[in-house]
């Protein structure tokens, strides 16, 4: 690639990022006017409004991180590190590790008596640091470790945010408000998949910049989450971090539902 063509590609990417930013800002503004957030519907208004506003920004970052988990990290492992089967499997399974370890994350936040959003923000900052390490030291072992840890933290905060939605959103509007923020996640994943793909096509060796972008997404998500009001988790009375698995053993219907979900790929 010549210097002039590289400059043109860079300038076009800058313009595209600016356009995506404008579209995202317009969409977030539209989200902020959701019917479920009017003072006549939600009392107290502040808690639900603040939660919705900052969760919109968190979901944009989550979309960027979703593109990392589903596309870019595995592409980097193959193209830039020529990773073997085990390394590729570990990178691809990072998000699943997070779901498996989420009871440990919840137990840690519960025992520490942190507010739920404070615990989620701290976990997300671990993901940000992991991406920085992977970008600063481009070795296969550190890349795999950083990728797995980053995607693990991204998934591990899901139960904490679920509790925040339960506490802060009115029951009648909870599904509608979450669906609107999730649209931002989908849009963020689509937009960044396209932009990141174009960037790697223009500069295959620039994967470290993408890793730093993922680190920034983690940091911005943590900054948004920490501003959402929340309370410490209620003490469950059990000391073992996996004590909630007793429900799988005792509840036959719940156990069968989990088995079906596992076959469908989202348990």
* Structure tokens, 176: 């509608």
Between 86-100, 166-180, 228-242, the lowest mean confidence (pLDDT) is in 228-242
Query: 82-115: per-residue pLDDT in tens?
Result: 999 999 999 998 888 888 888 888 888 988 889 9
**Number of folded domains in the chain?**
1
In a domain, 33, yes or no: yes
Question: Is the pLDDT at 38 greater than 70, yes or no?
Answer: no
Look over the chain and give the mean of its residue pLDDT values, rounded to a whole number: 81
Comparing C-alpha atoms, which of 145, 31, 143 is closest to residue 77? 143
CATH number of the domain enclosing 115: 1.20.1250.20
Comparing C-alpha atoms, which of 96, 145, 102, 143 is closest to residue 120? 102
In a domain, 242, yes or no: no
In a domain, 249, yes or no: no
Measure the CA–CA gap between 68 and 214, rounded to whole angstroms.
Answer: 7
Sign of CA dihedral 197, 203, 206, 209: negative
In a domain, 254, yes or no: no
In a domain, 74, yes or no: yes
Q: How much is the average pLDDT of 144-159?
A: 94
Residue 24 belongs to domain spanning: 3-234
Is pTM beyond 0.95? Reply is no
Q: Which residue has the tokens 């669906």?
A: 179
In a domain, 257, yes or no: no
In a domain, 241, yes or no: no
In a domain, 239, yes or no: no
């Amino acid at each position: 690639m010549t210097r002039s063509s590289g400059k043109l590609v860079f300038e076009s990417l800058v313009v595209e990022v600016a356009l995506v930013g404008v579209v995202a800002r317009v969409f977030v503004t539209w989200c902020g006017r959701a019917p479920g957030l009017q003072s006549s519907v939600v009392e107290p208004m502040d808690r639900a409004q603040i939660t919705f506003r900052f969760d919109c920004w968190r979901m944009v970052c989550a979309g960027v991180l979703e593109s990392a988990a589903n596309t870019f990290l595995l592409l980097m492992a193959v193209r830039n590190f020529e990773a073997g089967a085990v390394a590729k499997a570990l990178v691809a399974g990072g998000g699943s590790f997070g779901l498996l370890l989420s009871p440990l994350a919840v137990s840690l936040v519960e025992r520490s008596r942190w507010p739920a959003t404070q615990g989620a923000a701290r976990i997300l900052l671990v993901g940000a640091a992991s991406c920085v390490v992977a970008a600063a030291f481009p070795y296969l072992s550190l890349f795999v470790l950083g990728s797995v840890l980053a995607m693990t933290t991204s998934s591990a905060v899901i139960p904490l945010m679920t509790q925040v939605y339960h506490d802060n959103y009115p029951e009648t509007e909870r599904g509608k408000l979450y669906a609107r923020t999730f649209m931002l996640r989908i849009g963020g994943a689509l937009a960044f998949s396209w932009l990141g793909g174009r960037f790697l096509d223009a500069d295959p060796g620039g994967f470290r910049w993408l890793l730093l972008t993922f680190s920034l997404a983690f940091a911005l998500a943590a900054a948004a989450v920490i501003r959402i009001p929340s309370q410490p988790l209620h003490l469950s009375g059990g000391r073992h971090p996996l004590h909630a698995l007793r429900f799988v053993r005792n509840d036959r219907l719940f156990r069968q539902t989990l088995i079906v979900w596992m076959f469908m790929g989202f348990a």
